[in-house]
Amino acid sequence: MTVAIIDYGSGNLRSAAKAFERMSDEKVIVTSDPKVVEAADHIVLPGVGAYADCRAGLRAVEGMEDALQKTVIEAGRPFLGICVGMQLLATIGEEFGGTEGLDWIPGHVKAIEPDDASLKIPHMGWNELHGVDESLHPVLDDLDHGAYAYFVHSYHFVPDNKDHLLATTPYGQTITAVIGRDNIVGTQFHPEKSQETGLRLIKNFLGWKP
């Protein structure tokens, strides 16, 4: 059993790998090799920075998008997107004019526009998760309404279908915190930086059999 954390030039992947290693007996591999991804039992797509840059970085890894299509969409293996890795699941990201996403979960990635001018952008730091105790999604098991997670972002995912919205966080507006459908789930927050909450989510993801 293996966990593939995809390396496409975005983010500090070592911290994510350490969190997954802590919660799993499975082999955790940070990789840019599509063949390793195709052989993996769980697939993780992290992401830090601008949406367009991350999208370009993923495209630049030869064969990776085909490998993701085969393993996630066709084979239905469990997939977790983190931060911009979650946002790339959208139809389009509006940062810098508009960049097409993977379109696995229809929706748009839009700028955060809080109704309180005192709230700074990016949304950075600890914030509450709302709705997790109502979603009944296996990846959110044993997480309580009001549990804290760590966020760093200026844009957020607005799904077209509200059934794909699994949890939110308040920041001058309702912001998507977790999305999902079928074998795909994504978190706007960083589980690897979210201490007990994040480690619980990682453990749930690794035990998930969609």
- For the stretch 100-154, pLDDT in tens is 999 999 999 999 999 988 999 999 999 999 998 767 799 999 998 899 999 999 9
Catalytically active residues, by annotation: 83, 190, 192
pTM score over 0.75: yes
Question: Which residue range(s) make up the domain with 112?
Answer: 2-207
- Judged by average pLDDT, the poorest of 8-12, 43-47, 151-155 is 8-12
Q: Give the sign of the dihedral formed by CA 28, CA 58, CA 54, CA 115.
A: negative
CATH code of the domain containing 56: 3.40.50.880
Q: For the chain, what is the domain count?
A: 1
Residue with more model confidence, 7 or 9: 7
pLDDT for the residue 15:
87
In whole angstroms, how large is the CA radius of gyration of the chain? 16
| Residue 61 Cα distances to 160, 184, 210, angstroms | 29, 21, 27
